[in-house]
Amino acid sequence: MSKTAIKISVIGAGFVGSTTAYTLMAKGIASEIVLFDRKIERAEGEVMDIEHGSPFTAETLVRAAGNYDETKDSDIVIITAGAKQEPGETRLNMATKNAEIMRSIVSEVAPRSPQAILLIVTNPVDVMAYVAREVSGFPKSRVIGSGTNLDSARLRFTLSKKFGDIDSRDVHAYILGEHGDSEFPAWSLANIGGQNIDAAAAQFHVDLSESVKSELGDSIKNAAYEIINRKGATYYGIAMSVARICEAILRDERSIIPLSVLLNGEYGIDDVYLSVPVIVGEHGIEKILTPHLTDDEMGKLHNSANVLKEARAGLN
């Protein structure tokens, strides 16, 4: 963005929201960060803790807020508020209780920041992004779900380990579809060092048979559940994922990131948010990419779309 003063508001000072605010501040990509929570004391405590690290980072104003007026004229509004996902609970189980929360929040923040990009993190993120766009009336390019960006990072990290601890930044792979139980790895798009994943596996002498691929896909899909079972919540990975998305927007990087976006005919899918590769820049979603998928992968993408449409219909 050409603006020199960048304001980001984070709605919800729970584990995800506060860790996101901390990560944004540590990266120094905004001049002002507002951490909003109805429980103002919680937001104030988190901000006090974060701002004590300010001598070690670029200068950033971090403020706590309990009034939506404090979010006015934000460039990006990140919404993390919602009911906590309990052990054994699927993301889609949370749809009904979080939809009302999302409607309430968006009806407050959208009029105060009419030019903002809404970045939805609250789960189930695909359904919540649809609700946020419906309430805000914003163009689809400016209502984005964090989607499978983190899931894809988990896949890239896991593959980097399997391929002998190579740099995970040199592993390119996507998880597509729902951010949830119907998500899937698009193996046909995965590559390492310019080689498709199967050719790379042969060169590295790595077993990447169909059964191994299936196990890897399941491990990525279940990663959040495993973390929640052990420590009660996930927040570091998603905070870094959200900060990365904000970087791409604010620096107009035109980066290709798998995010939850509204499809209107792409892949033969209409009127549903789910994750596919997109170009991200200062205006939000600059372009939805449609790389060739195998018939099996296309079937899985359509299955995700149907799952999400059913979940959304349940809200009505």
Ordered per-residue pLDDT tens for the chain, 316 residues: 656 799 999 999 999 999 999 999 999 999 999 999 999 999 999 999 999 999 999 899 999 999 999 999 999 999 999 987 677 666 677 888 899 999 999 999 999 999 999 999 999 999 999 999 999 999 999 999 999 999 999 999 999 999 999 999 999 999 999 999 999 999 999 999 889 999 999 999 999 999 999 999 999 999 999 999 999 999 999 999 999 999 999 999 999 999 999 999 999 999 999 999 999 999 999 999 999 999 999 999 999 999 999 999 988 6
For the chain, the farthest-separated pair of C-alpha atoms sits apart, in whole angstroms, at 58
**Amino acid identity of 241?**
S
Q: Note the pLDDT of residue 2.
A: 56
- DSSP string for residues in 109-151: HHHHSTTPEEEE-SSSHHHHHHHHHHHH---GGGEEE-TTHHH
CB 158 within 8 A of CB 219: yes
Q: Note the pLDDT of residue 94.
A: 80
Long-range contacts made by residues 208-213, C-beta under 8 angstroms, separation at least 24? 208/162, 213/185, 213/187
Nearest to 290 by CA among 208, 204, 176: 176
* Complete edge-to-edge strand list for the sheet that includes strand 171-172: 171-172, 191-192, 195-196
Mention every residue, 6+ apart, whose C-beta is less than 8 A from residue 289.
Answer: 256, 276, 277, 278, 279
Q: How many other C-beta atoms lie within 10 A of the C-beta of residue 285?
A: 21
Q: Note the pLDDT of residue 316.
A: 63
Q: In sequence order, what are the beta bridge partners of 79?
A: 11, 120
CB 147 within 8 A of CB 140: no
**What is the Cα–Cα distance from 50 to 25, expressed in whole angstroms?**
8
Structure tokens at 254: 């035109």
Active-site amino acid positions: 179
The number of CA neighbours under 13 Å toward the Cβ of 21 is 36
